[in-house]
Amino acid sequence: MKWLFKWIFRLLRLAVVLLVVFLLSLDTILRVITERSIRQQTGMQVEIGKFHFGLLESVVTIKDLKLHNPPEFGGTPFLSIPEIHVAYDKPALNQGKLHCTLVRFNLGELDIVKNEAGQTNILALGLALPTKDSLAKSKDLNELKRRTNLEFAGIDVLNVSVGTLKFIDLKDPQNNREQKVGIDNQVLKDVKQPADLAGLVLLIALRSGDFFGSLVTPANLK
């Protein structure tokens, strides 16, 4: 029987080692899964510098997230996000509600690309420019519930930073332009509806000058 105890001990020791390795590798595993999911949903190449999922604290942090446009837009950069940090309410999540106590979102760079066929990447990807009316009528919250079976219960504190906007014309590079928005740590509280972001959208529009002027379609002006 002594050999049996030795094998059981060895198996337990192996299980502990495997558990430790899994816990140490969890962030890497989740980073790879997240990259694959984004790639499948958007068709874009994606890179995530760091992914952290708190086991003892209810936080998720993504750093150095970069998205690249599909081949029809030259494979150019699309989004550069230095940080997304979310602190969420775990008891609410257990009840099927997504309640965030803090969201910190840093948009380093957004590149709007017009390809040689005259298509613009954000419109081709279904990312129409937001307006006050479109925010008020947004169905994003219903879409969240349909996809995740979670009810959005609000964000207590939203901290947003926006860096640089770029327009790249692959057919005529003379049209290329860049706009520094320079919004640092703009804080919004008690965000429960898309319309609560109207003030932020207005601030971005003011800081952007006429950057979006040539991209707005008549439908956006309604």
Cα 131 to the center of its chain, rounded Å: 20
Q: What is the CB-side half-sphere exposure of residue 105 using CA atoms within 13 A?
A: 12
Q: Across residues 113-125, what is the average pLDDT?
A: 83
Read off φ and ψ for residue 92, nearest 5 degrees: -65, -40
Burial class (CB in 10 A: 0-12, 13-18, 19+), 62: buried
pLDDT, the chain, mean: 79
What is the amino acid identity at position 7?
W
Bridge-based pairing of strands 97-114 and 151-169 is: parallel
pLDDT category of residue 212 using cuts at 50, 70 and 90: confident
* Interior angle at CA 186, CA 184 and CA 192, nearest 5: 145
Per-residue pLDDT at 12: 57
Per-residue pLDDT at 181: 93
Report pLDDT digits (tens) over 61-80: 999 999 998 888 888 889 99
Q: Across residues 138-145, what is the average pLDDT?
A: 56
Task: Read off the DSSP letter of residue 128.
Answer: P
Report pLDDT digits (tens) over 3-39: 444 555 555 555 544 444 555 577 888 888 888 888 8
Measured distance CA(153)–CA(191) in Å, rounded: 9
Q: How many residues does the chain have?
A: 222
pLDDT category of residue 126 using cuts at 50, 70 and 90: low
Q: Across residues 104-118, what is the average pLDDT?
A: 91
Question: What is the pTM (predicted TM-score) of this model?
Answer: 0.78
Is the pLDDT reported for residue 148 higher than 70? no
Report pLDDT digits (tens) over 163-189: 999 999 999 999 899 999 999 999 999
Per-residue pLDDT at 24: 57
Task: Express as a percent the part of the chain with pLDDT over 90.
Answer: 34
Is the pLDDT reported for residue 136 higher than 80? no
Per-residue pLDDT at 33: 87
Q: Higher-confidence residue: 135 or 85?
A: 85
Task: Express as a percent the part of the chain with pLDDT over 70.
Answer: 73
